[in-house]
């Protein structure tokens, strides 16, 4: 008998990655979508279209798992609120199940990523781990005593909205805060700091790109940094230090064995992680900082998709 197959969907603030995944965690087909400025109906349509495209490649799938960038009441299957997408008070699980004609499981996208990393990835064999996903925003998940922690109503673990600078800029999207880790150290922050650095240093590769009227995004900053542009490397180092200050609080509060860094911005690798580790080594409380490792995700930016698929394969894992 061929292995059972499901669809895993990982949605971020600006893009979606989906895949047909079997019980051996092999991805048979991938789908990609982007959204900018889509209203609620359009956003839900994009979810449906992505699933239907995947089903054309695998009509035998029997469930769908969704990881969404929202505060999710997992037991009711309701998206309560989202910083980046219009998903406030959406009965997502039941709505998607009705439209797709398949069983649906939903959770926060970072929780889904943590499921994959805890079961088969970088956090395997750990009982106390934190996942921080750097993308358009910052998602996060907590593994405490071997179980995913969600808070009293399933809405917890939003470490991206810890304030690390009370006088900092307004946060992104619909967040009412300012100086949150998300606005200071996300993939979007890399792009913003890269553009500011380009204006200050017009002779740099970043500066020349800006002068040519070309976009400065987090991905471009990372690419130029890997190519050796010192201004771009300095941007990543600064964002890494900011991330480190956020992680100091995580280390002091949760005393994890491991902090796993994922999301699209992890493409920066050690250019981002090493400055973060240096801040944690200097600023976190000595007993806790000596116990923690900070490492990239095993599955890269596919952790969320694979975790969503794992939840669809076995909904019990989303409760563990």
Ranges of each domain in the chain: 5-114+302-319, 126-297
Q: Residue 1 above 80 pLDDT? A: no
70-98 pLDDT per residue, tens = 999 999 999 999 999 999 999 999 999 99
Which pLDDT band, with edges at 50, 70 and 90, does 52 fall under? very high
DSSP conformation letters of 142-204: EEETTEEE--TTS----GGG-BS-TTS-B-STT---BSBHHHHHSHHHHHHHHHHHHHH-TTS
195-226 pLDDT per residue, tens = 999 999 999 999 999 999 999 999 999 999 99
* Cβ(183)–Cβ(172) below 8 Å: yes
SS3 47: helix
Q: Residue 3 above 90 pLDDT? A: no
CATH architecture of 126-297: 2-Layer Sandwich (3.30)
Average pLDDT over the chain, rounded to an integer? 95
- Comparing CA positions, the residue from 32, 21, 187, 47 lying closest to residue 119 is 21
Phi, psi angles (nearest 5°) of residue 89: 55, 45
Fold: same for 5-114+302-319 and 126-297: yes
Which CATH code is given to the segment(s) 5-114+302-319?
A: 3.30.420.40
In 69-145, which ranges are E strands? Answer: 71-73, 78-81, 104-108, 129-134, 138-144
Residue 228 or 318, more confident:
228
DSSP conformation letters of 264-287: GGGGGTHHHHHHHHHHHHHHS-HH
* Cβ(235)–Cβ(260) below 8 Å: no
Please report which helix (H) or strand (E) contains residue 120, including its range: helix 109-120
Can you tell me the mean pLDDT for 48-77?
A: 95
Which pLDDT band, with edges at 50, 70 and 90, does 167 fall under? very high
């Amino acid at each position: 008998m061929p292995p059972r197959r499901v669809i895993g969907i990982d949605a971020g603030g600006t893009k979606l990655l989906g895949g047909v995944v079997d019980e051996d965690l092999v991805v048979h087909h991938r789908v990609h979508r982007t959204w900018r400025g889509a209203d609620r109906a359009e956003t839900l349509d994009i979810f449906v279209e992505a699933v239907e495209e995947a089903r054309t490649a695998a009509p035998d799938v029997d469930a769908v798992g969704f990881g969404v960038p929202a505060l999710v009441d997992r037991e009711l299957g309701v998206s309560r609120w989202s910083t980046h997408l219009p998903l406030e008070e959406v009965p997502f699980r039941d709505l998607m199940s009705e439209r797709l004609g398949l069983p649906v499981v939903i959770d926060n996208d970072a929780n889904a990523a943590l499921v994959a990393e805890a079961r088969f990835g970088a956090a395997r064999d750990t009982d106390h781990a934190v996942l921080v996903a750097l993308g358009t925003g910052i998602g996060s998940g907590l593994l405490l005593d071997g179980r995913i922690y969600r808070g009293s109503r399933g809405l917890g673990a939003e470490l991206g909205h810890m304030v690390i600078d009370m006088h900092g800029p307004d946060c992104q999207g619909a967040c009412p805060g300012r100086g949150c880790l998300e606005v200071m150290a996300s993939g979007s922050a890399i792009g913003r700091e890269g553009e500011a650095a380009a204006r200050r240093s017009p002779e740099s590769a970043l500066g020349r790109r800006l002068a040519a009227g070309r976009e400065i995004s987090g991905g471009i900053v990372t690419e130029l940094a890997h190519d050796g542009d010192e201004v771009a490397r300095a941007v990543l180092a600064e964002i890494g230090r900011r991330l480190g200050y956020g992680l100091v609080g995580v280390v002091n509060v949760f005393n994890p064995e491991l902090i796993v860094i994922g999301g699209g911005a992890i493409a920066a690798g050690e250019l981002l992680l090493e400055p973060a580790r240096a801040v944690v080594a200097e600023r976190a409380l000595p007993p806790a900082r000596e116990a923690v490792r900070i490492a990239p995700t095993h599955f890269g930016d596919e952790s969320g998709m694979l975790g969503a698929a794992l939840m669809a394969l076995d909904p019990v894992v989303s409760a563990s």
